[in-house]
Structures are given as C-alpha cells and as structure tokens.
Amino acid sequence: MKKMLPVCGYAVSALLFLSYVMILGTSLFPKVCAEYRLYYIERELQDWPGYGGLQYRLGTPVVFRSTEEDRTRRRGNSWNSFEEDGCWTYGGHSALYFSGIFQNPGNEDGGAGNAGEEEKKRYVEIDVQEVREGAVSQVCANGEPIGQIASAGTFRFEFPQGMPEGDILLLEFFTDGFGPVGEDARSQGIKVREIIIDDAVE
C-alpha cells in the first residue's frame, strides 16, 4: 500500500502538469472568431462589429456616412470620425476588414454572383467624396496593389486573379500627402462615402 502512494502522487502530478500545458496552449493560441481576435486580442478594429459582423455578401454597400444607421464597423484603427458625407482616412495608412470574400464563389441571393459558368472577375468599387489637395492613396488587397486614388469620384479596381483564399480580406489605403484640410487640423487623406465588392461577368 505504501508503495502505491508515490505512484499515485506521480500520476496526479502528471495529470496536473498536462492540464496546465493544455490551459497555457489555449491561452496562447485561442480558437476564437475573426471579429473577437481582431478587436479584443490584436486590437486592430476601431469598432466592435459583433460576432459575424465582418462577413460580407457580394453587392452590399459598405456605408461611411454618419446619417446612415448601418454605417460600417469594418474600420481599422486609422480612420477619422464619420461625417454626413463620408469618412476621412487618418494618416498614411487606413484599413478595412472583410471575411468570406474569397470563400464564397458568388452571391447566393442573385446578381452577378449567379452567372452560371461565365467567368467572373471580382472587383471593389470605391466612392470617394473628397481628396486632400496633393494627396495620393495606393489601394492594396491583402498586400497586393490594385489601384490608386488621387481625386474625387468612383473607382473600380479588380482583385488579382491569383488572390489567395482565406478568411480575411484586408483592404488598405496607403496615402501620401495627408494632413489638415482647411481649418480642420486632423490628419486626412481621402474621404470615402461607400464601398461595394462584387463580381463582374465578361
């Protein structure tokens, strides 16, 4: 009986150690959704989008106007406040986050996504209300340059055919020439009104 006590003690110690390792591994590599990870852990999002809030359905407008109740919650940290006619990028880098873009081959509710066997090219359309004088913004998708904005207007940029599939699409604006606009001392580059991602059929 006395010989069994050390063995039981070792067994209990081993189980406790394994439990500790499992708990430590879970804390270092938590299995959480993209929204939770980006907002609470990596602190990359300016607004809490809610669970599943970064999911995107093709053809749905992403709105940046303060007058709209459904204005976007996809913004990274480097954006100015919403205004009635749009939202200015802040400083030299601003980002938006989308999930499911390259996992869903089309829009199940209709539109260009239901074009059968025809070849589809996915694009992003950016409606720009205003650009600070002298500012130029390079638009990138998951690190790949797709276009440039240097004036107000609506711009359509196609995503590269070889875009890797993944959970997150990171749409970034790298802006040169940002700064104050008029008497507004905030650091501003381009003012975005609305963004749409969809498929163009050729």
Q: Hey, how many other C-beta atoms are within 10 angstroms of the C-beta on 62?
A: 23
Is pLDDT of 129 > 70?
yes
**CB neighbours (10 Å) of residue 144?**
13
State the Cα–Cα distance between residues 169 and 190, nearest whole angstrom: 21
Residue-wise pLDDT tens digits, 54-74: 999 999 999 999 999 999 999
Confidence of residue 115 (pLDDT cuts 50, 70, 90): very low
Pairwise CA distance, residues 93 & 138, whole Å: 10
Across residues 156-168, what is the average pLDDT?
A: 81
| DSSP state letter for 166 | -
Is pLDDT of 155 > 90?
yes
At the topology level of CATH, where does 44-201 sit?
Jelly Rolls (2.60.120)
Of 187, 188, 178, 173, the closest CA to residue 141 belongs to: 173
Mean pLDDT on 87-110? 78
Domain boundaries, the chain: 1-31, 44-201
Sign, CA torsion 43/48/53/54: negative
Question: By percentage, how much of the chain surpasses pLDDT 70?
Answer: 74
Please state the rounded mean pLDDT for residues 9-33.
54
d(CA 76, CA 72) in angstroms, rounded, equals 11
